[in-house]
Chains A and B, each alone.
Chain A
Amino acid sequence: MTKPVALSANSLIKTFGGLTATDNLSLSVETGEIHAVIGPNGAGKTTLVNMLSGEMRPDAGNILFNGRDITRMAGPARVRAGLARSYQITSIFRDFTTLENVMLSVQATQGHSFRFWKPVSRDTSLIDPARALLERVGLGDRMEVRAGDLAYGEQRQLEIAISLATEPTFLLLDEPMAGMGPEESQGMITFLRALKGDYTMLLVEHDMDAVFALADRITVLVYGKVIATGARDDIRNDPAVREAYLGEEEIV
Chain B
Amino acid sequence: MNALKNPANMFTAVVMVIFALTPFVAPAIGETFYVTVFARIMIWGIAAVSLNLIMGYGGLISFGHAVYLGIGGYTVGILAFHGVTNAWIQWPLAIGLSGLIALIFGAISLRTKGVYFIMITLALAQMIFFLSVSAERYGSDDGLNILARSDFGVSFFSLEDKMTMYYTIFAFLVASVLVSWRLVNSRFGNIMRAAKSNDARVQSIGVATYRYRLTAFVIAGIMCGIAGLLQANFERFVSPDMMNWPRSGELIFMVVLGGMSTLFGPVTGAFVFLMLSEILAGWTHHWHIIFGPFLVLVVLFARGGIAGLLTPKSRRE
Contacts and interface: CB of A to CB of B under 8 A. Distances in A.
Complex contact flag A–B (Cβ < 8 Å)? yes
Interface of A: 53, 55, 74-77, 79-80, 84-85, 87, 91-96, 100, 103-105, 107-109, 113-121, 123, 146, 162-163, 165-166
A55 B198 CA distance: 14
Contact of A113 (B182, B190, B201, B317): B190
A91 B182 CA distance: 27
Contacts of B120: none
Contacts of A146: 317
B164 interface: no
B155 interface: no
B204 interface: yes
A165 B189 CA distance: 19
Contacts of B190: 100, 103-104, 107, 113, 120
Given A113-B190, A120-B185, A163 B317 contact: no
A93 B205 contact: no
Given A84-B204, A115-B187, A95 B317 contact: yes
A76 B191 CA distance: 13
A123 B317 CA distance: 24
10 contacts: A103-B190, A107-B191, A108-B205, A113-B188, A113-B190, A114-B188, A114-B215, A115-B186, A116-B186, A162-B201
A113 B206 contact: no
From A87, A94, A114, residue with most partner B Cβ within 10 Å: A114
Nearest to A53: B204
A79 B187 contact: no
A92 B188 contact: no
Contacts of B187: 107, 113, 115-116, 118, 120, 123
A76 B215 contact: no
Contacts of A77: 206, 208
Nearest to B185: A119
A70 B132 CA distance: 48
B207 interface: yes
B64 to A, nearest CB: 24
B53 to A, nearest CB: 12
A165 B204 contact: no
B194 interface: yes
- Contact residues of B: prevailing secondary structure: helix
Given A115-B186, A117-B186, A119-B182, A109 B206 contact: yes
Nearest to A159: B201
Q: Which of B200, B205, B206, B317 has the most CB of A within 10 A?
A: B205
B174 interface: no
7 A-B pairs with least C-beta separation: A79-B206, A119-B185, A113-B187, A115-B187, A76-B208, A108-B205, A105-B205
A92 B194 contact: no
A84 B205 contact: yes
Contacts of B189: 116, 120
A92 to B, nearest CB: 7
B212 interface: yes
A75 B188 CA distance: 20
Contacts of A85: 204
A102 to B, nearest CB: 10
A92 B201 contact: yes
Contacts of B185: 119-121
Contacts of B317: 95, 146
Contacts of B203: 55, 75-76
Given A55-B203, A95-B317, A108-B206, 16 more contacts: A76-B206, A77-B208, A85-B204, A91-B201, A93-B194, A96-B197, A100-B190, A104-B190, A104-B191, A108-B207, A113-B191, A115-B186, A116-B182, A116-B187, A116-B189, A120-B189
B183 interface: yes
Interface in B126-154: none
A47 to B, nearest CB: 16
A162 B205 contact: yes
Nearest to B192: A113
Nearest to A114: B188
Nearest to A94: B197
Contacts of A105: 205
Contacts of A123: 187
Contact of B186 (A104, A120, A166): A120
Given A115-B187, A120-B187, A96 B205 contact: no
Contacts of A115: 186-188
Interface in B286-317: 317
B52 to A, nearest CB: 16
Contact of A116 (B183, B194, B198, B204): B183
Contacts of B183: 116-117
B204 A75 contact: yes
B198 A92 contact: yes
Interface string B156-200: 000000000000000000000000001101111111001001101
Contact of B200 (A55, A80, A103, A113): A55
A190 B163 CA distance: 70
